[in-house]
Amino acid sequence: MLSDTIAAISTAVGEGGIAIIRVSGPDSIVEVEKLLKSRTPLSQAESHTVHYGHIVDPEKGEHLEEVLVTVMRAPRSFTTEDVVEISTHGGVIAVKRVMDLLLQTNVRLAEPGEFTKRAFLNGRIDLSQAEAVIDLIRSKSDRAFSVALKQVEGNLSRRINELRHTLVETLAHIEVNIDYPEHDVESFTSELIKDKSRHVMDEIDKLLKTAEEGKILREGITTAIVGRPNVGKSSLLNTLAQDNRAIVTDIPGTTRDVIEEFVTINNIPLKLLDTAGIRETMDVVEKIGVERSRHAVNEADLILLVLNSSEPLHEDELALMEQIRGRQCIVILNKMDLPHQLDMDIVRRYYPDELIVPMSVKAQEGIDSLEESISNLFFSGKIEGGDLTYVSNVRHIALLKKARKSLVEAYEAADELIPIDMIQIDVRMAWEQLGEILGEAVGDSLIDQIFSQFCLGK
Ligand code: GDP
Ligand code: ZN
């Protein structure tokens, strides 16, 4: 199955200084050699060396591109196979020329994620590490990147392996005990099972506790900016994002759709959603926007409610405050540069003072205190540096919970002195469920699904 050789463009397509084509598989060196004119024939090149040369059309003899070629021989490569990387000039034409020629040889186009899949299938990395490669590519903040990198390096795998090791030892004890079923030995084994299951359960709990933080780090805190039309939502988003993605206008209701922007505030990654003005409306176009806003509000980890301080409170705003009651929310009193009209008593009834931030987006006032309020809400000592083993993948979280459940059952059974061979089943199950995190005994369809999330060339 892995005997064929694959190739893909591994850099982003578009204009750039250089582009890289990656070739992996048993024929990668000989096939590239056929197209390359260089001082050292590639088949005689040592591993991890770089060679200057020209890609030549073997039929026409025409020089098509000037390249640098890197050779990495098996097993010292990402896929553990022979790998050749061809650096070409940037831009679409150069890479296309080389790719076209390559694909006429005994090399086929790689599927998305196929290089990483090979690394996994060849045992170079486990499944949780492969999944972290996706996180790495998609990370939106420094911290998310560091967390993913630690997982690629195997931090999570190591901890899971430690727990599995404990469970295997326990299983070995049980096995011995089944052969010598004297009574004292049996109750001793029950105690041991209780001890070990409790220990592994505690460790799983620690990992699960990181899950929430992991989600925040990977995706950013989903933050919905809501409020009536024209209160300054888009202006706020622009100020926070410091570019002009959302269109700011004077016509109420012009933000029809939900606009997303990733920003980092005091090192906290936020996914900002600028929603259309939430209000009951008969306008069909706007209604779609309003539906999306509702959805955005429901999904949000944090809501920024923007009110116009220069106007009395509107009934739509009362309804909105009712709707988001009990949610993590910061109220922004915008347009403080204009004469004050808003009845603060009503607003305070809904929100204690510390969550109300007076602001003028126009005069750029109050931005700092908003940013401070956001970081106070989320980082009141919650996330600390150092240990970067975070669980952030829903698949991993589900498996950790399953394993925990099996261990609770083992613990309770041991406590009730149920025959040891019955308990063995639960302990083994926990061991298997933890193994699935690393990709042991998982089905092909799951593997395909995971790797299909990758971009081409990875
Ligand atoms: P949205 O509909 O809630 O997204 O509101 P916009 O961001 O499109 O802003 C509507 C109008 O209010 C624009 O003309 C903004 O320039 C103006 N605006 C926004 N913030 C302020 C502010 O703090 N003071 C004043 N005076 N005008 C503002
Ligand atoms: Zn807007």
What pLDDT, in 10s, does the model give residues 283-296? 554 555 456 667 77
* Nearest alpha-carbon partner for 306 in 262, 253, 353, 360: 360
- Protein residue whose Cα sits closest to atom 19 of ligand 1: 232
Q: Could you write out the DSSP letters of every residue in 106-130?
A: TEEEPPTTHHHHHHHHTTSS-HHHH
Average the pLDDT over each of 116-120, 225-229, 256-260, 313-317 and give the range with the smallest value. Answer: 256-260
Q: How confident is the model at residue 195 (pLDDT cuts 50, 70, 90)?
A: very high
Q: Is the CB of 177 under 6 A from ligand 1?
A: no
Q: Reply yes or no on whether the pLDDT at 253 is more than 50.
A: no
* Sequence letter at residue 346: I
Q: Reply yes or no on whether the pLDDT at 7 is more than 90.
A: yes
Which runs of consecutive H residues, i.e. helices, occur in 80-179? Answer: 92-103, 114-121, 127-138, 142-152, 155-179
Q: Sketch the domain layout of the chain as residue ranges.
A: 5-124, 130-216+393-438, 222-378
Same fold, 5-124 and 222-378: no
Instruction: Write down the CATH superfamily of domain 5-124.
Output: Probable tRNA modification gtpase trme; domain 1 (3.30.1360.120)
- Protein residue whose Cα sits closest to atom 8 of ligand 1: 248
Q: Reply yes or no on whether the pLDDT at 276 is more than 70.
A: no
Q: Of the residues 225, 248, 257, which should be mutated to test ligand 1's pocket, given the most ligand atoms within 8 Å of the CB?
A: 248
pLDDT value for 357: 93
What distance in Å separates the CA atoms of residue 346 and residue 351, rounded to the nearest whole number? Answer: 9
Centroid of ligand 2 to alpha carbon of 323 (angstroms): 20
Q: Is the CB of 250 under 6 A from ligand 1?
A: yes
What pLDDT, in 10s, does the model give residues 17-38? 888 999 999 999 999 999 999 9
pLDDT value for 440: 84
pLDDT value for 283: 54
Which ligand lies nearest the alpha carbon of 289?
2
Which ligand lies nearest the alpha carbon of 304?
1
- Protein residue whose Cα sits closest to atom 2 of ligand 1: 230
| Binding-site residue set for (6S)-5-formyl-5,6,7,8-tetrahydrofolate | 22, 85, 124, 458
Q: Reply yes or no on whether the pLDDT at 193 is more than 70.
A: yes
pTM: 0.63
Q: Of the residues 362, 364, 365, 367, which should be mutated to test ligand 1's pocket, given the most ligand atoms within 8 Å of the CB?
A: 362
Q: Reply yes or no on whether the pLDDT at 404 is more than 50.
A: yes
Across the chain, what does the average pLDDT equal?
83
Centroid of ligand 1 to alpha carbon of 36 (angstroms): 60
pLDDT value for 354: 63
Q: Reply yes or no on whether the pLDDT at 408 is more than 50.
A: yes
265, β-bridge pairs: 268
Which ligand lies nearest the alpha carbon of 248?
1
Centroid of ligand 2 to alpha carbon of 66 (angstroms): 50
* Sequence letter at residue 416: E
Q: Is the CB of 309 under 6 A from ligand 1?
A: no
* Nearest alpha-carbon partner for 304 in 376, 223, 371: 223
Highest-pLDDT range among 215-219, 259-263, 342-346:
342-346
Centroid of ligand 2 to alpha carbon of 258 (angstroms): 9
CATH number belonging to the domain at 222-378, selected among 3.40.50.2300, 3.90.1150.10, 1.10.1060.10, 3.40.50.300: 3.40.50.300
Q: Is the CB of 341 under 6 A from ligand 1?
A: no
Q: Is the Cβ–Cβ distance between 246 and 237 less than 8 Å? A: yes
Centroid of ligand 2 to alpha carbon of 232 (angstroms): 7
Q: Reply yes or no on whether the pLDDT at 349 is more than 80.
A: yes
Q: Reply yes or no on whether the pLDDT at 257 is more than 60.
A: no
Percent of the chain with pLDDT over 90: 37
Highest-pLDDT range among 64-78, 125-139, 182-196, 324-338:
64-78
Predicted complex: ipTM over 0.85 = yes
Highest-pLDDT range among 94-98, 119-123, 221-225, 407-411:
407-411
**Ligand 1 atom index nearest CA of 252:** 2
Q: Reply yes or no on whether the pLDDT at 66 is more than 90.
A: yes
What distance in Å separates the CA atoms of residue 236 and residue 135, rounded to the nearest whole number? Answer: 29
Q: Of the residues 235, 311, 334, which should be mutated to test ligand 1's pocket, given the most ligand atoms within 8 Å of the CB?
A: 235
Average the pLDDT over each of 63-72, 97-106, 158-167, 373-382 and give the range with the smallest value. Answer: 373-382
Tokens of 450: 């995971």
What distance in Å separates the CA atoms of residue 205 and residue 211, rounded to the nearest whole number? Answer: 10
Q: Is the CB of 96 under 6 A from ligand 1?
A: no
pLDDT value for 52: 96
What distance in Å separates the CA atoms of residue 166 and residue 199, rounded to the nearest whole number? Answer: 9
pLDDT value for 355: 83
| Binding-site residue set for GTP | 230-235, 249-255, 274-277
Instruction: Write down the CATH superfamily of domain 130-216+393-438.
Output: tRNA modification GTPase MnmE domain 2 (1.20.120.430)
When pLDDT is averaged across residues 309-324 and rounded to a whole number, the result is 89
When pLDDT is averaged across residues 441-445 and rounded to a whole number, the result is 76
Q: Is the CB of 116 under 6 A from ligand 1?
A: no
What pLDDT, in 10s, does the model give residues 220-229? 788 899 888 8
